[in-house]
Amino acid sequence: MFVRAALPGELGAVGDLRVEAYEAQGLLTANPDYAATLRALGAAGGDVLVAVDGDRVVGTIMLERWGPDSEVARSADEAEVRALAVAPEAQGRGVGAALLKAVMERAASLGVRHLVLSTQPGMTAAQRLYAAHGFARLPDRDWAPVPGLTLLSFGQLLPAVF
């Protein structure tokens, strides 16, 4: 398994993988409309990375630089991690860790000093992964995209050279 930038022709399959992974964990129940966002992420910008096993994409993550539509990032030296997703059959094999490490390296290479993300309270495996990679809770940045769903925010200061 290796991690690389997604190819333009793969973005549709990447979007489908995100939705499949989120649905398998029941993560779209509170906000089913988020499936459309998951499918579209990366089409208009951002760095989409994929984990590939043989000829199959088994995971994905996205780095989105700060901008006017940022959800958690607050300044130009910040970027957001978005839509970490691993195919259900590939979970537990280190795919998520490889993707997170790759996105952290990519962010540092772009001069990002603070990497932030948000996650659903039920995403406990992802939260353990983030903590294992040095992310800490940022409760002052928690937010609710829809009534009844509060997202938890995490962040990490990145070294100048990874």
What's the pLDDT tens digit per position in 6-25?
998 999 999 999 999 999 98
Q: Which long-range contacts (CB under 8 A, 24 or more apart) does 75-79 make?
A: 75/114, 77/111, 77/112, 77/113, 77/114, 78/112, 78/113, 78/114, 78/115, 78/116, 79/107, 79/110, 79/112, 79/114, 79/115, 79/116
Cα gap 33→37, rounded to integer Å: 7
Whether 35 is covered by a domain: the verdict is: yes
User: Of the candidates 68, 152, 154, which has an alpha carbon nearest to the alpha carbon of residue 114?
Assistant: 154
What are the φ and ψ backbone dihedral angles of 72, each rounded to 5 degrees?
A: -120, -35
Mean pLDDT within 26-37: 88
Mean pLDDT within 119-144: 94
Mean pLDDT within 123-139: 95
Whether 133 is covered by a domain: the verdict is: no
**Domain containing residue 30: CATH number:** 3.40.630.30
Whether 150 is covered by a domain: the verdict is: no
pLDDT at residue 47 greater than cutoff 70:
yes
| Range of the structural domain that residue 43 is part of | 2-112
pLDDT at residue 162 greater than cutoff 70:
no
Cα 72 to its chain centre, rounded Å, is 12
pLDDT at residue 129 greater than cutoff 90:
yes
Whether 123 is covered by a domain: the verdict is: no
Whether 135 is covered by a domain: the verdict is: no
Whether 152 is covered by a domain: the verdict is: no
Residue 17 confidence (pLDDT): 96
When divided into structural domains, the chain yields a total of 1
